[in-house]
């Protein structure tokens, strides 16, 4: 196949580039580098099957020649990003998705939309299944991301039903691994960087909020299988092994062999407003239709991630 990956210089986008190239496909990565980084794909320079295009996908996308698939992964993806880049977040979810769908329609290509567990908001159903409609605050600080992704899903299904575009939707749950941005504000890079520096790990509230962490290689495998499947409606991809943020902090301290303490902070900023209290995917559908479930243990995935951060964290 010849595939376009928007957001291809980002954390997940770059790992997708690696997987598709490893499978023998031609890959075009497109990114405007607002949160992506060419360092994530510099190891692909010189690969005859790889091309990078610096472009903002909210503008018209032109790709010369055949295209078999479009994977739309362009978007800021952390609470800090939503606060600093609210308009850009909305635009890439709305206009960027529109441009990506238009390209897929023109090329007769299959489009896979990167959606998110954030479409479930602060869920009233636990664990979250694909038929749950969510509990989202549309005017809160997270609304720019949550509603952009919900709109993107609706637009994707509209193009599928009205124009007959062959589409797929993945709802991604918390994912971690090498190439995460150190400063993106999410719990994995925050905790690892703090532990490596010997600083206290900052836990908001009492640490009882839960998350489910999926290693990036497992997630990419699920996405690859979904693209090749016949499933049109959304599919959860994530790790159903749930743990509290406090237990996760202790795990990071253990694996980094750090002397860090844990500091409990009562947040006063907007970063955790509407922050989900629980987050756990029901992956029954992925198991059934994709024969997929996570394979890499938390300890193994975190060790690879810690090894990466040791090369980038200044101490």
Helices (H), the chain: 11-22, 79-84, 86-91, 97-107, 143-158, 187-197, 216-228, 245-256, 284-290, 298-309
What domains can you pick out in the chain, each with its CATH number? 2-175+215-237 (3.40.50.720), 177-211+241-280+295-309 (3.90.25.10)
Query: pLDDT per position in the chain (315 positions), as tens?
Result: 999 999 999 999 999 999 999 999 999 999 999 999 999 999 999 999 999 999 999 999 999 999 999 999 999 998 889 889 999 999 999 999 999 999 999 999 999 999 999 999 999 999 999 999 999 999 988 899 999 999 999 999 999 999 999 999 999 999 999 999 988 889 999 999 999 999 999 998 888 988 999 999 999 999 999 999 999 999 999 999 999 999 999 999 999 999 999 999 887 655 556 677 788 999 999 999 999 999 999 999 999 999 999 999 987
Q: Active-site positions?
A: 145
Q: How far apart are CA 207 and CA 235, in angstroms?
A: 29
Q: How far is CA 68 from CA 62, 100, 149, 239, in A?
A: 14, 13, 23, 29
Say if residues 27 and 50 touch (Cβ distance below 8 Å). Answer: yes
Say if residues 306 and 177 touch (Cβ distance below 8 Å). Answer: no
pTM of the model: 0.96
Q: How far apart are CA 210 and CA 192, in angstroms?
A: 18
Say if residues 121 and 79 touch (Cβ distance below 8 Å). Answer: no
């Amino acid at each position: 196949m010849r595939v376009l990956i928007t957001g291809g210089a980002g954390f997940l986008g770059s790992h997708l580039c690696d997987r598709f190239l490893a499978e023998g496909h031609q890959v075009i990565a497109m990114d405007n580098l607002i949160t992506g980084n060419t360092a994530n794909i510099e190891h692909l320079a010189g690969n005859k099957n790889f091309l990078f295009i610096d472009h903002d996908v909210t503008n018209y996308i032109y790709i010369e020649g055949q295209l078999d698939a479009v994977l739309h992964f362009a978007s800021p993806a952390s609470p800090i990003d939503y606060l600093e880049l609210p308009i850009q977040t909305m635009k890439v979810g709305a206009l960027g998705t529109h441009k990506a769908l238009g390209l897929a329609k023109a090329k007769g290509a299959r489009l896979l939309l990167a959606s998110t567990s954030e479409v479930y908001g602060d869920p009233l159903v636990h664990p979250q299944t694909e038929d749950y409609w969510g509990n989202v605050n549309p005017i809160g600080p997270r609304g720019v991301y949550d509603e952009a992704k919900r709109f993107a899903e609706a637009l994707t299904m509209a193009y599928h039903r009205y124009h007959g575009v062959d589409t797929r939707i993945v709802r991604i749950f918390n994912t971690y691994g090498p190439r995460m941005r150190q400063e993106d504000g999410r719990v994995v890079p925050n905790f690892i960087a703090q532990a490596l520096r010997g600083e206290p790990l900052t836990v908001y509230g009492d640490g009882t909020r839960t998350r489910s962490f999926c290693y990036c290689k497992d997630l990419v495998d699920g996405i690859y299988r979904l693209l090749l499947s016949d499933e049109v409606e959304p599919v959860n991809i994530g790790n159903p092994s749930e743990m509290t943020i406090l237990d996760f902090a202790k795990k990071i301290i253990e694996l980094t062999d750090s002397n860090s303490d844990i500091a409990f902070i009562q947040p006063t900023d907007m970063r955790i407003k509407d922050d989900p209290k629980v987050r756990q995917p029901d992956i029954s559908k992925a198991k059934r239709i994709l024969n997929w479930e996570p394979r890499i243990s938390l300890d193994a995935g975190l060790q690879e991630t810690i090894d990466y951060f040791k090369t980038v964290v200044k101490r």
